[in-house]
Structure 1
Amino acid sequence: MVYFQKMTPEGYQQIKDEIARLKKDRPRRIKILQAARALGDLSENTEYTEAKRDLGHLQSRLRYLGKQLKYAEIVETEDDGKVNLGKTVVLKFDDDDETEEYKIVGRMEADLAEGKVSFDSPLGQAIMKKEAGTTVQVEAPAGAYQVTIVAVK
């Protein structure tokens, strides 16, 4: 069974951009490896070992990102007023009076520091397909809490 990874068009583009950066960097890393190999005895050549490891990490990352693109399911947003992938929500957590804004994204794109929450996180699952004005209970590993959806953009 093939599992497709849901993501926003922006998330798909970010992966494509990272692949392009890595491919552009690959020739430089190959030259570093070749220069280190030319130093001689490979058994005690830390420059060679590090260069080989770095190139291996780059190749591995390229393969991983390539699979992410291959199995990506790009989800376009609908203007239906409901929380969904690609939309931005304004939330009010019931334990304080502050509101916070989050973009609902795919699992690979999630980054709380950038205000991006995965649709399949506990918070994401609780608010998906809900409309503004709805209060939901979020069942998180650290405990349950309530959140009100102030706006869906």
Structure 2
Amino acid sequence: MHDELTQVDLDKMKQELTHRIQTLRPKLIEEVQEARAHGDLSENFEYRCAKQAKNRNDSRIRYLQAMVRTAKVITIDSDNDAIGLFDTVTVYNSVLKKEQILRIVTTLRQNVLQGLISKESPAGVALLGKQVGDIVTVTPEGRPSYTMEVRHIQKGTDDDSLDIAKY
């Protein structure tokens, strides 16, 4: 399985990986050792918390290493009139009966609460390649379909202003 990521996604993951291995891991190991020195481990809350933080960091390191190892780097190119990756789109949602502003991003940077939708989500798949005036049908898994009308497209670029998801 390969995750389709941009070079910026990959660079951000490598930066986080370096930080977690070189800076965070030694600090967390030291915290575990300090807490362990406080005595009885069965009732040592500080030790359990330090151990959990270290384990979360190690888990994130493994996740990032796997993502970097299996990533397929994609380029961003789309027709000037069509919706492409990192474009901001104003749509009229037939279910909500109002306009929404959505930005199509890679899966690693999605955040629905901020209007950042993945290119692999049902709405992202439906919108990519469409133009102003097009009406698309979005079919979420296990839910009723709905339509959106594309009202405006603002071309975007892949910059590093968008954070990568924590998981």
- Structures share a fold, TM > 0.5? yes
Alignment of 1:109-128 (within 5 A): 109-128=109-128
Flag structure 1 segments of 5+ consecutive residues without an equivalent: none
How many angstroms apart in 1 are the aligned matches of 2:96 and 2:46? 54
Flag structure 2 segments of 5+ consecutive residues without an equivalent: 156-167
1:37 and 1:96, CA in 2 relative to 1: closer, same or farther beyond 3 A?
A: closer
Amino acid at match of 1:145: Y
Q: Which residue of 1 aligns with 2:149?
A: 148
Structure 1 residue ranges (4+ consecutive) displaced by more than 4 angstroms after TM superposition: none
How many angstroms apart in 2 are the aligned matches of 1:9 and 1:54? 29
Q: Which residue of 1 aligns with 2:26?
A: 27
1:87 and 1:12, CA in 2 relative to 1: closer, same or farther beyond 3 A?
A: farther
Alignment of 1:58-137 (within 5 A): 58-80=57-79, 81-95=81-95, 98-137=98-137
Amino acid at match of 1:82: A
1:37 and 1:48, CA in 2 relative to 1: closer, same or farther beyond 3 A?
A: same
**Residue 50 (structure 1) aligned with residue 49 (structure 2):** yes
For normalisation by structure 2, the TM-score amounts to: 0.76
Q: How far 1:132 moved relative to its partner? A: 2.1
Amino acid at match of 2:74: V
The alignment partner of 1:99 has SS state of strand
Q: How far 1:145 moved relative to its partner? A: 1.1
For normalisation by structure 1, the TM-score amounts to: 0.82
Q: Over aligned residues, Cα RMSD in angstroms? A: 2.3
**Residue 12 (structure 1) aligned with residue 13 (structure 2):** no
How many angstroms apart in 1 are the aligned matches of 2:37 and 2:78? 60
1:60-99 Cα shifts (integer Å, max 9, x gaps): 1111012112222233221413223332222122356643
